[in-house]
Chain A
Amino acid sequence: MMVFARLIVAFACLFCTAFGAYALDINAAVLRVDYPQRLPISRYDLIPDDLGFAGGALADEDNQTTGNFMGMTFNTNYVATTPEEIDALLEELIANGTTLLVVMANAEDLLQIADRAGSDVLVINATTRDMSVRDDQCRANLLHVAPSEMMLADAVVQFAMWKQWREVFLIQGSNPADRTLGDAYRRAANKFGAQVVEEREFEDTGGSRRTDTGHVLVQRQIPVFTQNAEDHDVVIAADNSDLFALYLPFHLWTPRPVMGSGGLRPVTMHAAHEAWGATQFQRRFEEASGRFVQEADYEVWLSLRVIGEAVIRINAADPAALRDYILSDDFELAAFKGRKVNFRPWNGQLRQPVLLTDSKITVSVSPQDGYLHQVSTLDTLGLDQPESACNAFAE
């Protein structure tokens, strides 16, 4: 009998090396809410139909490659919707067993989705930079892979300070989203010892984005708009509306570098980023999608990689267990940024370096040398725990 028993054990083990201990299915979804968009100033910023989804598809491939070695199957549903149809779609996704949800939506819809999905679903904010969803409006079932506006503004101002460009001319748009971004830059300047010596608002008067030979007028208007400013080292543009920032470089009255929404921009990824193995990411993405990567693609890729990495490490797909692991000290992920990324356990925000690009190359990466923090130098970017009004993560 003993011999027989051993034989069975041997067989069972053969089975487990080949197929993993047991099969595990991971049911995730990427939910994208499409809003009416104005045309961008630059054709490079046109939104492809598969924005975000193409990044997700690459993450599925990356996760599944590992999953194949471990007996895991990653299933991801991709759905795009109008704001009006969010509720119906969400209901359907949850009825179909989705427990892990990556969301591309504005702050308001994101919160609505997180609340309706409830605590049995882990929601990851892939794209929204809005501050409140990480602060007083934070939710326990909502993690943020997208960096906040504060993190991006801090990344820009740290570089300005490293360059000793201490005196800032801040130009912000007239829409609420531009003003919030302007606030993030004012706060960053204050935080790192820069000085906003001049502020102007660029009014959104509506009208068409494109006219033939529009540059002729731009060349005359922008110098006049920026005339007679206090002495400054750098111009920072807060232009979430994509209205004027791209017009600033080379057209300023006083020749100065431009940062923020134009000139040197803070991004999570751009298609020319090659350091730290990113070339392989770019090539894999381009081969699969037939186009260059955009920030939202990378952000969805990273969101699904966060899920995949956690599933692979704990060999479970239960949202509560995944959340615990993702927020723990054990979680770490390589993200083509030269150092590991992980989460702030007190508000569910992903710590991450920020790339600064002139839209052609990676010019620098923040945090800059010399900015120190008792937890992680990455926490020099964005809201810090003592300032946070988020209580949903306190246990």
Chain B
Amino acid sequence: MQRPIQFIASISVAMLGFANPAAANKVFVSNERGNTITVIDSDSWEAIAEFPGGNRPRGIGVSPDGKYLYVCASDDDTIRVFDTETYEEVWTLPSGPDPELFTIHPTGELLYIANEDDNLVTVVDTQSRTVVAEIPVGVEPEGMAISPDAAFVINTSETTNMAHFIDTSDYQIKHNILVDQRPRYAVYTDDGTKLFVSSEIGGTVSVIDPLAANGPELTTKIGFEVAGVQPEWLQPVGMKVTADNKWLFVALGPANRVAVIDVESLEVVDYILVGQRVWQMEFTPGQEFLITTNGNSNDVTVIDVARQKAVKSIQVGQQPWGVAVTPE
């Protein structure tokens, strides 16, 4: 009986290998409770290292050149910067208190950081390692996104329930859009024509037209429904959109599912069962795979993007929160 099982396992590994002919990338997962970063090889899909990430590591990202890993060490009130090859901490960046999530300017020069405690967005220069600006926003800032043309940074504030449009040229808020309760995450389509904001407690994803004639405008809200799951557990958090602007993936927290939304029709077409309390997600560089962090089952799920199926789960540290992948 041992044999067929092994056989199946080796085939699925082979299939994964075929689907990803490019060189392996490193997947970094921040473990909020374990205070570590787990490193996964995106070819073998095995955890290859785990290293200390500071206290309560949450938001995580890789510099565009792939050299540095930025980690919001929330309880250290700093952003720790690690070498993606050696995993050594190289320096820290001033982040303002309790950094949770950030977004990176396409050039890699600036980080825009949400400070949950101080109702601020802090802008940090990654070269000079100094604070460039502090922007007062709503209460409990959380989600951060940058428009593809880098003209606007979006911040969502969880108690104010707004998406704030911050002009990157003068750091002034130019527009505010009210969304549903506890907006967690914001993401643009790559063509910049749509902005999605997930509301964890409201249970919806707001679809915003950022280019509307009279300024950004809420166009519609997407709701969720899964048979056998209490509606209050359908809590949209992390999101990712494919580069062809066709598919939006939405992590649904304690519903243990990732919703797949057709960006054209804005309809939910499928729910992919993943680990427990799914938080954040990231694509591999060619977008063959989407990796989800599952906070309550201490693992990540790998989703085959084309087939829209979960293909593998990998054990990581305690309470994985964020995920980042090195570029090609």
Q: Are A17 and B161 in contact (CB under 8 A)?
A: no
Report B167-184 CB contacts with A as 1/0, cut-off 8 Å. Answer: 000000111101011100
Chain A residues proximal to chain B, CB less than 8 Å:
13, 17, 61-62, 65-66, 69-70, 277, 280, 283-284, 309, 312-313, 332-334, 338-340, 376-377
B218 within 8 A of A: no
Minimal beta-carbon separation of A369 from chain B (angstroms): 9
Q: How many residues of chain B get a CB closer than 8 Å to chain A's CBs?
A: 30
Chain B residue nearest to A332 (CB atoms) is B181
Q: A69-B138, A340-B202 are in contact. Are A377 and B117 (CB under 8 A)?
A: no
Q: Are B160 and A339 in contact (CB under 8 A)?
A: no
Q: Are B181 and A17 in contact (CB under 8 A)?
A: no
Q: Kindly list chain B residues whose C-beta atoms are within 8 Å of the C-beta of A66.
A: 138-139, 160-162
Contact of B162 (CB < 8 Å), options: A17, A61, A69: A69
Q: Are A65 and B201 in contact (CB under 8 A)?
A: no
Q: Are B176 and A280 in contact (CB under 8 A)?
A: no
Q: Are B232 and A62 in contact (CB under 8 A)?
A: no
Q: Are A377 and B162 in contact (CB under 8 A)?
A: no
Minimal beta-carbon separation of A200 from chain B (angstroms): 39
Contact of B201 (CB < 8 Å), options: A283, A339, A376: A339
Q: A65-B138, A277-B140, A334-B201 are in contact. Are A377 and B215 (CB under 8 A)?
A: no
Report B138-171 CB contacts with A as 1/0, cut-off 8 Å. Answer: 1110000000000000000111111010000000
Query: Which secondary structure characterizes the binding site on chain B?
Result: loop
B119 within 8 A of A: yes
Contact of B178 (CB < 8 Å), options: A280, A312, A340: A312
Give the interface centre of A17, A312, A313, A334 by most chain B CB atoms within 10 Å.
A334
Chain A residue nearest to B119 (CB atoms) is A65
Q: Kindly list chain B residues whose C-beta atoms are within 8 Å of the C-beta of A284.
A: 117, 139
Q: A17-B174, A332-B201, A340-B202 are in contact. Are A277 and B180 (CB under 8 A)?
A: no
Q: Bound complex: CA of A93 vs CA of B130, how far in Å?
A: 51
Chain A residue nearest to B137 (CB atoms) is A65
Q: Are A280 and B175 in contact (CB under 8 A)?
A: no
Minimal beta-carbon separation of B217 from chain A (angstroms): 13
Contact of A280 (CB < 8 Å), options: B117, B214, B215, B232: B117
Chain A residue nearest to B202 (CB atoms) is A332
Minimal beta-carbon separation of B181 from chain A (angstroms): 4
Q: Bound complex: CA of A65 vs CA of B157, how far in Å?
A: 11
10 closest A-B pairs by beta carbon, nearest first, are A334-B201, A339-B232, A334-B181, A334-B182, A66-B160, A69-B176, A340-B201, A62-B139, A65-B139, A280-B140
Q: Bound complex: CA of A309 vs CA of B182, how far in Å?
A: 12
Q: Kindly list chain A residues whose C-beta atoms are within 8 Å of the C-beta of B182.
A: 277, 334
Selected A-B contacts with CB under 8 Å, 27 pairs: A17-B174, A61-B139, A62-B159, A65-B119, A65-B157, A65-B160, A66-B138, A66-B160, A66-B162, A69-B138, A69-B160, A69-B162, A70-B176, A277-B158, A277-B182, A280-B158, A280-B159, A312-B161, A313-B178, A332-B181, A332-B201, A334-B159, A334-B181, A334-B182, A334-B201, A340-B232, A377-B230
Q: Are B180 and A332 in contact (CB under 8 A)?
A: yes
Q: Kindly list chain A residues whose C-beta atoms are within 8 Å of the C-beta of B215.
A: 17
Chain A residue nearest to B164 (CB atoms) is A69
Minimal beta-carbon separation of B113 from chain A (angstroms): 15
Chain B residue nearest to A58 (CB atoms) is B139
B116 within 8 A of A: yes
Minimal beta-carbon separation of B102 from chain A (angstroms): 17
Q: Quick one: which of B226-280 are within 8 Å of A by CB?
A: 230, 232
Q: Kindly list chain B residues whose C-beta atoms are within 8 Å of the C-beta of A65.
A: 119, 138-139, 157, 160
Minimal beta-carbon separation of B170 from chain A (angstroms): 14
Minimal beta-carbon separation of B307 from chain A (angstroms): 33
Q: Bound complex: CA of A34 vs CA of B242, how far in Å?
A: 60
Q: Are A377 and B232 in contact (CB under 8 A)?
A: yes
